[in-house]
């Protein structure tokens, strides 16, 4: 309420305050955090650790990327964000996934993939947020996996977003059907118009 009152008050002197409040609001609404730490004390590349919970998703990513990746992915509730990408001075990259957020979507593997792939976009491809939208099946939907908020259309537009990200026709991937089967096993929030599996 306080923010809204200030927002509508007249006066140029409040300009910077408005910007600051808007920034805070945007950060609060964002599902993701980017932390680029500067920490010269940490020498050497730390050993790779990947929590088994992320194995299946990582396999999908590596297949489309065409190579293995060197990264750590583990659960941490340090941040309120669904996921955080950290890039250290020594080049080590790690992704922290919030266990509460991951648990909340226990029945939606598409959403889990979305969180993870978004953070991997930051950490492994160096991508920043991209909030462009496009028209799909009568709705305005996020055009990138790097959309800064929760993408409720991810299940429907996954194929398009991954093809944009990796520059490949993913349907031609010989693992595509097995991958869909894995994701569809837990897909509570999947829209009804998702392409059916071909048997």
Q: CA nearest 157: which of 144, 147, 172, 167?
A: 144
Q: C-beta of 77: minimal distance to Zn ion in Å? A: 18
Using Cβ positions, the residue closest to Zn ion within the complex turns out to be 32
Question: Stretches 24-32, 74-82, 107-115, 187-195: which one binds Zn ion (CB under 5 A)?
Answer: 24-32
In the bound state with Zn ion, the residue whose beta carbon lies nearer, of 32 and 95, is: 32
32 binds Zn ion (CB under 5 A): yes
C-alpha to C-alpha distance for 44 and 13, rounded to whole angstroms = 48
Q: Which is nearer to Zn ion, 85 or 180 (CB)?
A: 85
Q: What is the size of the binding site for Zn ion (CB under 5 A)?
A: 1
Q: Does 82 bind Zn ion (CB under 5 A)?
A: no
> Taking the complex as a whole, how short is the minimal distance between the CB of residue 119 and Zn ion, in angstroms?
7
Q: How many CA atoms lie within 13 A of 127 on its CB side?
A: 19
Rounded Cα gap, residues 89 and 57, in angstroms:
27
CB-side exposure of 56: number of CA atoms within 13 Å? 14
What token pair was written down for 173? 């991937």
List the interface residues with Zn ion, window 99-138 (CB under 5 A). Answer: none
- Which residues are near Zn ion by CB under 5 A? 32
């Amino acid at each position: 309420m306080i923010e809204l009152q200030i927002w509508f008050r007249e006066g140029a002197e409040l300009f910077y305050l408005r910007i600051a409040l808007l920034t805070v609001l945007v950060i609060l609404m964002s599902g993701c955090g980017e932390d680029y730490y500067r920490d010269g004390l940490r020498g050497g590349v730390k050993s790779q650790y990947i929590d088994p919970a992320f194995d299946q998703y990582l396999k999908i990513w590596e297949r489309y990327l065409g190579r293995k990746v060197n990264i750590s992915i583990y659960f941490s509730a340090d941040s309120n964000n669904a996921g955080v990408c950290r890039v250290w001075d020594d080049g080590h990259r790690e992704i922290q996934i919030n266990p509460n957020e991951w648990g909340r979507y226990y029945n939606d593997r598409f959403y889990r993939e979305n969180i993870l792939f978004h953070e991997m976009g930051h950490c492994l491809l160096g991508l920043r947020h991209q909030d462009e939208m496009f028209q799909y099946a009568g709705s305005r939907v996020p055009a990138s996996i790097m959309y800064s908020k929760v993408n409720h259309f991810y299940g429907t537009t996954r194929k398009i977003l991954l093809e944009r990200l990796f520059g490949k026709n993913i349907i031609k991937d010989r693992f595509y059907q097995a991958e869909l089967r894995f994701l569809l096993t837990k897909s509570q929030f999947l829209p009804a118009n998702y392409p059916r599996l071909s048997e």
